[in-house]
Amino acid sequence: QLRTDPSAELQDLPREVFAVDPTSICQTPSTEVLYRCRKCRRALFRSSSILSHTEGIEPTAFAHKRITDSAQLCGDGREKCTSYFTEPVQWMEPALLGVMEGQLLCPKCTSKLGSFSWCGEQCSCGRWVTPAFQIHKSRVDEVRSLPVNFQAAKT
């Protein structure tokens, strides 16, 4: 039986796979949060591109990779999930084509943002996410739209 390299299938991905690059749209809807590179401020993705996952609740959820147990993560106020898992965004395409895993670098300043793996990666909460396009929360800033109040302030 002839086996092919799985990365050969990743040479040409359909356009529908990718979320629209936020820099190619003029304005972000006011209900959405925009995420920018912390170093150069380039828009990277919107909150609508973040994929939610349930927390890894098994006590043995990939315990060999866990640094601290669940009780410690809950008790000291730190977030369990230290990364965002997103759908792939258009600016990621050159890094994704033809390879199964690698780093995600900012398309403007090449700062390391995270990593990707078509086979999946483990979140800090213990959940396995497949495929994984993981952006570290410490490498991006949230930009929220402020509600506009058109009434003049009364003095």
Helices and strands in the chain, H and E counts: 2, 9
Q: How far apart are CA 47 and CA 39, in angstroms?
A: 19
Cross-strand pairs, 140: 37
10 Å CB burial of residue 49 (0-12, 13-18, 19+) is buried
H helix intervals, 7-153: 70-75, 93-96
Question: Which domain does 111 fall in, by range?
Answer: 15-54+81-146
Q: Is residue 154 part of a domain?
A: no
At 138, the pLDDT band (50, 70, 90 cuts) reads very high
pTM over 0.85: no
Q: CB within 8 A of 109, min separation 6: which ones? A: 37, 39, 40, 42
At 131, the pLDDT band (50, 70, 90 cuts) reads very high
Q: How far apart are CA 67 and CA 63, in angstroms?
A: 8
Q: Six-digit token pair at 102?
A: 């690698």
48-101 pLDDT per residue, tens: 999 998 887 655 555 545 444 444 444 445 568 999 999 999 999 999 989 999
Q: How far apart are CA 39 and CA 99, in angstroms?
A: 26
68-81 pLDDT per residue, tens: 444 444 444 556 89
In the chain, the number of structural domains is: 1
Look at residues 119, 86, 90 and name the one whose alpha carbon lies nearest to residue 16: 90
Q: Is residue 142 part of a domain?
A: yes
Q: Is residue 75 part of a domain?
A: no
113-127 pLDDT per residue, tens: 999 999 999 999 999
Domain harbouring 137, CATH code: 2.170.150.20
